Chain A
C-alpha cells in the first residue's frame, strides 16, 4: 500500500480519533456516560494500534513521511507524521495505557466527568502526536498539547496541595519547553532551506562552537521532562498530588516523551555533541540513580516511593542512551514500553489501597497479605518486575542497558548496578511493611473485592509482564530498524 492510495493512515487515525472523541466527550457527552464513552474510545484506539501492527510498509525512517501536508508553508513546516518502529511501540504503549487507566478507575466518580475524560483523551492525542511527529514545529506543538490538559487535570482533580505542585510542575516543564523552542528556532535558522523537518534538522550546519549550546538547550528540556537528576524535583510532588489516573499517564507515558525525544531528536541532530558530552550526562544519570534509590528507601508515602523508583529507571535509560551502544538502545526501547506498563500496574495497586483504606502512608499500613491476598500477589509480581527480576518484562531491557553501559565503561556500570541492590532494599522494605506482618485497625478489613475493572487491568499488566519477560523478541524486532538508523547516524561521523 502506498501512502497516497489510502484515505487515512494509521498515525492520523490514532491522532485524530482520540482528539475528536475527546472534544465530543468534552462538549457533547453529559455526566456519567462520559466515562463509558472514554473507555470505549480508548479500546477502539487499542484496536487500531493492534491492527496497525500487521501493516509494516512505509517505515523507512528518515526518507519518507507517512503523512505530510503543508500547514505553514511560509515557515517551511509541514504536518509530517511517521509511523516507524519506535513510534509504533510508543503509540502501542499510549493506547494500552489509557484503557488500563480507565478500567482501573472505573469505580471512581470524578466531578465534571465530561471535562475529565475529555482532557484525558486530549492528552492521548497529544502524546500520539509527539511520538509520530517528524517536523520540529509539529513536535513542539504536540509536546505542549500533551502538557496543558495534564495541568488542568492535576490542578482541578488533584490532592490537597495540588495548586502548588501543579504550578511547580507546569512552570518547570514549561521553562524546559521554552528552551526547547529556542533551540528549535535556532536549528531551523541554520537548516539549508529553512524548514522544520527532521531531515533538514540533521543537515543543519552550525557555526563552530555554537552547536554545544544548542545541544544543552535541547538536552535540559528533555532532561526536565524525563526527569533525570538534578532536574527531577517536580516529579514526586506532581505524582503525589495528581489524581492517580493522571499520575499513571504522567509516569507511564509522558516521561517517555523525554526519552523518546532524546532518541528521535537530540542524538540524530547533534551526534557529535552527544558524543562529547556523553561522559557528563552518563555520570549525572548514574549518580542520580543511586541517589534516588537512597531517597526512595526513606519515603513513607507509596506514591513518592514509586516516583523516586521511576527516577532511577529513567536515569538508567538516559545513561544507556548516551552510552551509544547497540544493546543500550535496544534495552531502552524495551524498557520504555515495559516501564510504562509496570508502573501503571503499581499505580493501580496504590490507587486501590488509597481509595479503600484512605491512606497511602507505608507506616500506617500492614498485614494486607493476610486480608487481601489477590492484591498482594498482583503487587508483588509487579514490584518484582519493577526491580527487573528475570522472566519479567523489565529484566531483558535492564540487562541490555547495563550491558551497554558496561561496554561504555566498566566503572559506570558497576556504580549503576548498585541501584539493583538498593532497588531490592526499598521494594522489599515496602512489601514487608505494607503487606506482611499483622493487620492493624486500618487494614483489618482488607480492601475487599478488587472490582472487575481493576482486576482485569491488573491481569493485563501481569500477562504483559510475563509474556514480554519470556519472549521479548517481537518488541525487539519492532524497534530494531529504528535502532539501526540511530546507530548508523552516530557511527557515520
Chain B
C-alpha cells in the first residue's frame, strides 16, 4: 500500500497544473472543486497510509535516482512512517478545510486570480507534502524551499500593494538565511556520513559520542534553518509581516503547516539533537526566549491577525522548548493541536474580517457576538484551547512540554508558565475586544454585518470540534490516559529515549501541582482580561512600555539599522566607488596610459625632415658609441 505514497503529493501537483495553466478558462466553482478535491483525494490516501503504518508497514519508497555522482547517491525517495503519516494527516486534513473555506472567502476575486490563488495553494500543499515525505534531507530541502516560495507568492498575492510585496520579499529572504544553514548542514552531513538518507545518517550518527563537535555544528546549522522557517529569534520578524496574505493563507501556511516544518525537521533528526546536548540547550533557550518575547508583543497589538501571528510565534517557541528539553512527542503533539486551534482562530478572524469588510483593527469592532454566532462560539473554543484550559486540546500538549521543561530545569517551567499566562491574557483581550461589549465600527459596517456562508462555517465547526477533542489522543498517564500518540510515535524517538535516560520521572504529586498551578494562573488571566476589556477596551494611545511593545520592541528598526542599511551602503560603495574607480578604473587606466603615451610619442613626428634626420644621426651615433665602447 505504501507504494501509493507518490499519489499524495501528485494530486495537489495536478491541481496546481490544472488551475495554473487553465486559469483563464475555468469558472470559479470548477476551480474551487478542483483545488479542494485534489486535497481531499490526498487526505483519503493519507488516511489509508496512516492505517497502513499503524499496521506496521513503514519504510522508504524510492522513486528514481535524483543525484548520482561518484560516491554521492541521493534518490528521490519518500519516507512513510509514523511521524510523516501524522504530518500528512494534519497537512491534508487542515489543508482541505482551509481550501474549502477559501472557496467562499476569496469569492470576490476575478476568475483568473481565483484560479491563481488555488494554484498557489495547491502548489504549497504539494511542497509541504514533499517536505514531510522526503526520505532524505535533499528531498526535504526541496519541499523546504518550495513552501518558502509558495509563502512568498501567497503573501504577495495582492501584488499591487507595495507593503504586501515587501512583506513577501522579507519572508523569502529571511527563509533563505535559514536555508543557508540548512544547506551547510546538508553538506557537512554528506562529508561526515556520505549520505543524506535519514536511515544512513541516523545509524552512523548513533555511533558518535555525545556533543561531538561535528554533531553540534550540524545541529546548530539545521536549527538556523528551522529558526528561519519556524520564525524563531533572530529570524522571526517575517511572520507577523506575512499577515499581508489572504487570511486562509495565514491559517494554512503561517499557522498550521509551513511554520511547523522546523519542528518536523528537528523531530525527524531527533537522534542528532539528542547526541548534541549543547545544541539542545540553545534550542530550548531560543524557543523559550521567542515564546516570551512574542507573547509580550502580542499583548499590545491591535490588528486581529497580528495578535494571532505573534501568538503563533510564541507557540512555536513552546514547541522548540519541547524539542530542546527532549520532549519530542510533546512538540509533535503541540504541532497537531496548534494546527487545529490556530487554524480555527485564523479562520475565525477571517470570518470576522469578511463580515467587517476588510477591517482588521479590533478597536473598531466589539459586540460581534450576536451578529456572528457560529464564528463567536468557535473562536471562543479556540481561545480556551490555546489558553490551556482542560479538557481542551491545548492543555494536554502544552502541559506535556512544560512538565518536560520542569524536569530539565525549573526555571524553564517558570518562564514557560509566565508565557502561558500572557497567552491566556492576550487571547482573551482579543476575544473580549472583538466579540463582547458594544459595536464601535461605522454604521455602514454594522448594517452589513452577517454570518459567513456555510463553506466558511463548516470548517470552523470541524476545527472547533478537533480543537476540543484532539487532546485525548495524548492524555498523560498521570491523568489516567494512555497517551496513544506517544505509543504511535515511539519507533521514531526510540533511539533518543534510550539515550536521554530521564534521570527522574516526575512523581504524580508534582505533576498535579504543576498542572494545577498553570491552569489556575491561566484562568485568573482569562477572567481578568474578560472583565477588563469587555466593558472598556483599551483604545488609547499606548505610552511607556506599552508603546515599546506596540512597536514590537523596535526589532525591525534595529535590523534595518544594523544589517540592511550598512549592507546597502556597502553595496553602493562597491558599485559607485570600488567598481568604477578601482576595478574598472584599473582597466580603463591601462587604456588611458597607452593613449597618453602615444599622444606624447606622436609629438616626435614633427614633419620636419631635418628633425627626422637629426634623430637618425643621433641614434646612429649612439649605436656607434655602444658598439665601440661598451
- Chain A contact residues, CB within 8 Å of chain B: 168, 171-172, 229-230, 232-234, 291, 294-295, 297-299, 326-327, 330, 367, 369-370, 373, 384, 389-391, 395-396, 399-400, 402-403, 406-407, 410, 413-414, 417-418, 420-421, 424-425, 428-429, 432, 435-438, 471-473, 476, 480, 483
Contacts and interface: CB of A to CB of B under 8 A. Distances in A.
Nearest to A388: B145
A384 B172 CA distance: 12
Contacts of B568: 297
Given A294-B575, A406-B188, A432-B166, A230 B179 contact: no
A421 B177 contact: yes
26 contacts: A168-B591, A172-B587, A234-B587, A294-B575, A295-B571, A297-B571, A298-B571, A299-B575, A326-B71, A327-B69, A330-B70, A370-B160, A390-B141, A396-B67, A400-B72, A402-B183, A403-B187, A406-B187, A406-B188, A407-B187, A420-B183, A424-B176, A428-B169, A428-B172, A471-B66, A476-B67
A472 B169 CA distance: 29
Nearest to A229: B583
Contact of B173 (A291, A295, A428, A438): A428
B574 A390 contact: no
Contacts of A437: 159-160, 162, 165
B330 interface: no
B177 to A, nearest CB: 6
A405 to B, nearest CB: 8
A421 B579 CA distance: 21
A476 B69 contact: yes
B72 A403 contact: yes
B570 interface: yes
Nearest to B143: A390
Nearest to B65: A473
Interface pairs A-B: 8 shortest CB-CB: A406-B187, A390-B142, A294-B571, A298-B575, A326-B70, A233-B584, A436-B159, A330-B69
Given A435-B159, A438-B160, 15 more contacts: A172-B587, A230-B583, A233-B584, A291-B574, A294-B575, A295-B579, A298-B571, A326-B69, A391-B142, A403-B72, A407-B191, A421-B177, A424-B172, A432-B166, A436-B160
Interface in B554-581: 567-568, 570-572, 574-576, 579
Given A294-B575, A295-B574, A420 B149 contact: no
B571 A417 contact: no
Interface string B139-155: 00110111001001000
Given A390-B145, A418-B180, A420-B183, A436 B72 contact: no
Interface string B569-606: 01110111001000110111001000000000000000
Contacts of A326: 69-72
B629 interface: no
B277 interface: no
Contact of B575 (A295, A369, A391): A295
Given A421-B180, A425-B173, A298 B572 contact: yes
Interface residues of B, number: 53
B303 to A, nearest CB: 22
A315 B136 CA distance: 29
Contacts of B575: 294-295, 298-299
Contact of B587 (A233, A390, A428, A435): A233
B190 interface: yes
A370 B587 contact: no
Contacts of A370: 159-160
Given A390-B145, A472-B66, A417 B169 contact: no
A369 B158 CA distance: 11
Contact of A402 (B68, B145, B187): B187
B549 to A, nearest CB: 30
B374 interface: no
Contacts of B570: 294
B169 A432 contact: yes
Contacts of A330: 69-70
Contacts of B567: 294
A420 B177 CA distance: 9
**Which of B141, B156, B165, B572 has the most A CB atoms < 10 Å from its CB?**
B165
A171 B146 contact: no
Q: Is the interface of B mostly helix, strand, loop or mixed?
A: helix
Contacts, number: 134
Nearest to A421: B176
Contacts of A369: 159
Contacts of B71: 326
A233 B583 contact: yes
A421 B183 contact: no
Q: Is the interface of A mostly helix, strand, loop or mixed?
A: helix
A394 B142 CA distance: 13
B64 A233 contact: no
A403 B188 CA distance: 8
B184 interface: yes
Contacts of A400: 67, 69, 72
Contacts of A298: 571-572, 574-576
B138 interface: yes
A293 to B, nearest CB: 9
A390 B572 contact: no
A429 B564 CA distance: 13
Contacts of A396: 66-67
Given A367-B160, A402-B187, A384 B69 contact: no
Contact of A327 (B70, B146, B172): B70
A227 to B, nearest CB: 11
Contacts of B572: 298
A384 B123 CA distance: 15
Nearest to B20: A377
Contacts of B159: 369-370, 435-437
A11 B440 CA distance: 79
B63 to A, nearest CB: 10
A420 B176 contact: yes
Interface in B164-201: 165-166, 168-169, 172-173, 176-177, 179-180, 183-184, 187-188, 190-191
A407 B186 CA distance: 12
A432 B72 contact: no
Contacts of A384: 149
Interface in B55-103: 64-72
A410 B188 contact: yes
Contacts of B160: 367, 370, 436-438
Contacts of A232: 583
Nearest to B70: A326
A417 B64 CA distance: 28
Given A294-B575, A403-B187, A406-B191, A168 B587 contact: yes
Contact of A432 (B145, B165, B180, B576): B165
B70 A424 contact: no
A386 to B, nearest CB: 14
Interface string B488-505: 000000000000000000
Nearest to A237: B584
Contacts of B162: 436-437
A120 B533 CA distance: 75
A429 B224 CA distance: 24
Contacts of A367: 160
Interface in B364-409: none
A414 B575 CA distance: 23
Contact of B146 (A168, A297, A390): A390
Nearest to A417: B180
Contacts of A402: 183, 187
B183 A480 contact: no
A441 to B, nearest CB: 16
A471 B64 contact: yes
A139 B69 CA distance: 29
Contacts of A395: 142
Nearest to B179: A420
Contacts of A420: 176, 179-180, 183
A435 B156 CA distance: 12
B599 to A, nearest CB: 17
